[in-house]
Chain A
Amino acid sequence: MSKNEPRIGVYVCHCGLNIGAVVDVAAVATYAQTLPGVVVSRESTYTCSDNGQRSIQEDIETHNLNRVVVASCSPRMHGDTFMKTCETAGLNPYLFEMVNIREQCSWVHTDKEQATEKAKDLVRMAVAKVQLLEPLEKQKSAVNKAALVVGGGVAGIFSALYLANAGIKTYVVEKKPSIGGHMAQLDKTFPTLDCSLCILSPRMADVGKHENIELITYADIQDVSGYAGNFHVTVKSNPRYVIKENCRLCGVCAEKCPVSLPDEFNVGLKKRKAVYIPFPQAVPNYYLIDADHCLHLTKGGCMLCQKNCPNDAIDFDQTESVRELNVGAIIVATGFELYDATQKKEYGYGRYPNVITNMDFERWVSADGPTHGKVVRPSDGNPPQKIGFIQCVGSRDEQEGAGYCSRICCMATVKQATMLREKYPEAEIYVYYTDMRTPGKGFEEFYQRGREQGIVFIRGKPGEIEEDNNQNLIIVSEDTDSGLILRNTLDLVVLACGLRPPEALEELTQMLHLSRSPDGFIMEAHPKLRPAETSIPGVFLTGCVQFPKDIPDTVAQSGGAAAMAAALLTKDEIELEPVRATVDEELCIGCGLCEDNCDYGAIEVKRTEEGMKAQVIEVACQGCGVCAASCPQKAVTIRHFTDGQLLAQVTAALEPEVIL
């Protein structure tokens, strides 16, 4: 077809007033008519509408067009739309070129005359390129109908259950010895005051025994390769040194174990042994040995647990095991980390015993916590009578590297203050806030209930906390509602710490080639319309790894991520984008620069009869072009973006008279 005389149709879009208010669309369309090869040129109010698309299809037929240019929004917005329009009319979709005269022209310029000239330039460049385009065919690839969920908190649990219930084989990989995540550590949930574990543990148990779910805990992802429909994931499982089938949870091992350590589940407020179960409802529900602290595993000897276990469940010969999972889709659900309050030195967390964090509070108030649910002053064990909460600790704070609002802390504080009010009806409770944010079903009503219970909300963030000789805490702050400066002496202060992306996320994002937003959380494919997808096909995301959110939003997003993954996994094969690298072996000298630079492991130098030559692994190639740019021999070409095509565009941009 490329040898045929080009017969080009150009369609210039008003996009309502988005383009039309700045660019003289009619002038651009008239100009396009004068360009070589252009057979028909039209303007249209909305080219993406049914009418707009039909007009392109009719022209392809009546004018026998063999190339189409649409000047409108970004290819990301409607590139696929118009490619399908061409395809339906019998034109290879890769003989289409899109010009962005909205985001890159009308939206960013105010001078109408110059914007119109720029739009003409952009259209001329596209017309120059479209003449040289080649038809490309999409390849097909089989889909491995299994999914991997990374992370076993509430987000991972629900995505896994949704997938498994749809009949899809699902692996759940969790770093910790039990699933449950942060939600398992919470005592109650807002705004209903449901017991957190009461609503979560049945779902945890479902994950543990679901016929379609394989749960791999105490394990790390070591490597990921492949592409949508065909990922290979290397997972390393750490040994628990306990035989699951033999462990009867009698706890004799822990009784005898001489090593006492801070209990992570209770944020260090309680002790655990080196052989332990993370918490009573843990899934999987059997003991494990902490290899870093076990006397036998660090120094030799001891083995008291093994000697005393009535069921021979202790096995010190276990070793780590590495396995490869083959899956078609991956859901990232690795959650968040709580802001480290010791960073905010003004508030004295870690120095003043009676300053605690919101997560500490959850464990103090829990029946399984250090005081069986009694909230006390850590310094003397007395019940607090004057309690303060400070909001936005490590959130909305550029100095702490987090300009964003963590979304859940306002409601978490209202919940905690309400629980305190129930336990201590006479207590004075103050909440120091920047803005109270309660956007959610039943949230504002919950906040109102808190106010009506006499919780005093003071608008004004304290600058610092001081401690007196009795380890009481003194806060001086402005009440901006009255303009008064208040000095308050409190028994206990709770810091409402914000949510951070986990430290370990960096490694995973690199393995999966994911992008991160400036806030450090994983970037979604589109902030509004594709919130559960990443920029990498086949990799989805849910929960706080995308951005801080509460439990209902997390569960909803998990449903979305599972639906997106299921849509991919229920296909037998998927189409692969043909815009990929190809190597001219005659030019290739086998230097390996392309292989070094490829982020996707998609190009390799191999020995051939002609010597060392680069070879493209088509299915892994993302068409990014790094190999082509780095090749000193110009042996690598990206289809649809060949040097010839790009240079024609550049020439048209710089020398309008050459083309005219």
Chain B
Amino acid sequence: MKKKEIINMDELDPQFKYEIASQPGGEHILKCVQCATCSSGCPVASVSDKFNPRRIIRMAVLGLKDVVLKEDFVWYCAACYTCSERCPQDVRIPDLMAAIRNIAVKEGSIHPAYREQGRLIGELGRLYEVTEFENERREKLGLPKVKEKNREIAEIYGCTGVGKVVL
């Protein structure tokens, strides 16, 4: 068995919990009592050991910022809100996961799948590419053509600075 690593708390970030609590959606993180109602009903947790909402909250409260932001588990939440319906402390876990993802994005830790989606939206204005093939079919059905590339999104990316973060 692998020897268990001892985590030096001086290397953790005790402010991380307050940073999350200051984000929209993260306000209730400190109410968590670790009852684990969230994990028991989570459809993602039932198929993946990597995603355990209770444990993610615990690591965040302890200040394991690097692990929480760099590992990809916070991106696994399907936002089904089952946990939110049941949480006795009103921690609002899907909103909390979104708050943590927002911090992750700011710090440049984006899951590759989401980065790719961001790129597509920026470039095309939508999540998939429209080619001549689709437009010909639309014409046959009596529908108007759509633009193959929507430059408006790229402009929004530019104005808001989202492009710099995502791309």
- A interface with B by C-beta (< 8 Å): 428, 448, 451-454, 456, 458-459, 476, 479, 481-482, 484-489
Is B166 engaged at the interface, CB distance under 8 Å to the other chain? Answer: no
In contact, B9 and A488 (Cβ under 8 angstroms): yes
| Residue interface mask B49-85, A partner, CB < 8 A = 1 | 0000011001101101000000000000000000000
Q: Can you name the residue of chain B whose Cβ is closest to the Cβ of A456? A: B61
B17 contacts the other chain (CB 8 A): yes
Given contacts A454-B30, A456-B61, contact A484 B14 (CB under 8 A): no
Given known pairs A428-B14, A456-B62, the reply for A481 and B34 (CB within 8 Å) is yes
Q: How far is the CA of A459 from the CA of B18 in the complex (A)?
A: 20
Give complex CA distance A458, B62 in Å.
9
CB neighbours of A451 from chain B (8 A): 30-33
Closest residue of A by beta carbon distance from B14: A428
Interface residues of B (CB under 8 A from A): 4-10, 14, 17-18, 30-34, 54-55, 58-59, 61-62, 64, 89
Apart from A448-B89, A458-B62, what are 9 other A-B pairs with CB-CB below 8 Å? A451-B33, A459-B34, A476-B6, A481-B54, A484-B7, A486-B6, A486-B9, A486-B62, A487-B6
| Cα A488 to Cα B11 with chains together (Å) | 10
* Closest 10 pairs (CB-CB, A-B): A488-B9, A482-B58, A452-B30, A481-B58, A481-B34, A485-B6, A428-B14, A487-B8, A487-B6, A451-B30
Given contacts A479-B58, A485-B4, contact A448 B31 (CB under 8 A): yes
Give the interface centre of B18, B32, B33, B89 by most chain A CB atoms within 10 Å: B33
Selected from A454, A479, A482, A484, the residue in CB contact (under 8 A) with B17 is A454
Check if B61 sits within 8 Å of A487, measured CB to CB: no
Give min CB distance, A410 to chain B, whole Å: 13
In the complex, which residues of chain A have a beta carbon less than 8 angstroms from the beta carbon of B61?
A: 456
Residue of B6, B10, B18, B30 touching A489 (CB-CB under 8 A): B10
Q: How far is the CB of A318 from chain B (nearest CB, A)?
A: 59
A476 vs B64: C-alpha distance in the bound complex, in angstroms? 16
Q: How far does the Cβ of A263 sit from chain B's closest Cβ, in whole Å? A: 36
**In the bound complex, CA of A487 to CA of B8 (Å):** 5
A487–B62 alpha-carbon span in the complex (Å) = 12
User: Is B9 within 8 A of A484, CB to CB?
Assistant: no
Smallest Cβ distance from A133 to chain B, in angstroms? 60
Nearest to A458 among chain B residues (CB) is B62
User: In the complex where A454-B17, A487-B8, A489-B10 touch, is A482 in contact with B59 (Cβ < 8 A)?
Assistant: yes
Known: A479-B62, A482-B55. A489 touches B31 (CB 8 A): no
CB distance from A486 to the nearest CB of B (A): 5
With A and B bound together, what is the CA distance between A308 and B61 in angstroms?
61
- CB neighbours of A454 from chain B (8 A): 17-18, 30
Once the chains bind, are B31 and A484 in contact (CB under 8 Å)? no
B32 closest partner in A (C-beta): A451
Cα of A454 to Cα of B6 in the assembled complex, Å: 23
Q: Given A454-B17, A479-B58, decide whether A485 and B31 contact each other with a Cβ distance below 8 A.
A: no
Bound Cα distance A245, B28 (Å) = 60
Between A448, A484, A486, the greatest number of chain B beta carbons within 10 A of the residue's beta carbon is seen for: A484
Can you name 19 A-B residue pairings with CB atoms under 8 Å?
Answer: A448-B31, A451-B31, A451-B32, A453-B30, A454-B17, A456-B14, A456-B61, A456-B62, A479-B58, A481-B55, A482-B59, A484-B62, A484-B64, A485-B4, A485-B6, A485-B7, A486-B7, A486-B9, A488-B9
- Give Cα A481 to B55, complex, Å: 7
Name the B residues within 8 Å of A459 (CB-CB). 34
Q: Which of B6, B17, B62, B64 counts the most A-chain CB atoms under 10 A from its CB?
A: B62
Pair A485/B5 contact, Cβ less than 8 Å: yes
- Distance in angstroms between the alpha carbons of A451 and B4 in the assembled complex: 28
Task: List the B side residues contacting A484 at CB < 8 Å.
Answer: 7, 59, 62, 64
Complex: how many Å from CA A165 to CA B7? 60
Residues of B within 8 A of A489 (CB): 9-10
- Please give, as numbers and ranges, the residues of chain A lying within 8 Å of B7 by CB-CB distance: 484-487
Q: How far is the CA of A22 from the CA of B115 in the complex (A)?
A: 72
Given contacts A448-B31, A489-B10, contact A482 B62 (CB under 8 A): yes
Q: In this complex, what residue of A is CB-closest to B54?
A: A481
Is the CB–CB distance between B55 and A487 below 8 Å? Answer: no
Q: What are the residues of chain A within 8 A of B55 when measuring CB–CB?
A: 481-482
Q: Which B residues are in CB contact (< 8 Å) with A452?
A: 30-31
Closest to A480 in B: B34
Q: Closest B-chain residue to A489, C-beta based?
A: B10
A126 to chain B, nearest CB (A): 54
- The residues of B that contact A458 with a CB separation of less than 8 Å are 62
CA distance A428 to B33 in the complex (A): 19
> B14: which A residues are within 8 A, CB to CB?
428, 456
CA gap between A29 and B98 in the complex, in Å: 73
A114 to chain B, nearest CB (A): 46
Chain B contacts for A453, CB-based, 8 A = 30
- Which residues of the partner chain A approach B9 to less than 8 Å between Cβ atoms? 486-489
- Nearest B residue to A450, CB-CB: B30
B17: which A residues are within 8 A, CB to CB?
454, 456
A448 to B89, CA, bound (A): 9
A485-B31 Cα distance, complex, nearest whole Å: 23
Whole-angstrom distance between the alpha carbons of A454 and B29 in the complex?
A: 10
A428–B34 Cα gap in the complex (Å)?
A: 20
Which residues of chain B are near A479, meaning CB under 8 Å?
Answer: 58, 62
Name A476's closest neighbour in chain B (CB-CB).
B6
Closest to B18 in A: A454
Task: Give Cα distance in the complex from A484 to B7, angstroms.
Answer: 7
How close is A510's CB to chain B, nearest CB, in angstroms? 46
Distance between Cα atoms of A215 and B64 in the complex (Å): 59
Nearest residue in B to A448 (C-beta to C-beta)?
B31
| B127 CB → nearest A CB, Å | 36
CA distance A456 to B64 in the complex (A): 13
Interchain nearest-CB distance for A398 vs B (Å): 27
A572: shortest Cβ distance to chain B, in Å? 57
- The CA-CA distance from A633 to B58 in the complex, in Å, is 76
Q: Please name all residues of chain B whose beta carbon is closer than 8 Å to the beta carbon of A481 when the two chains form the complex.
A: 34, 54-55, 58
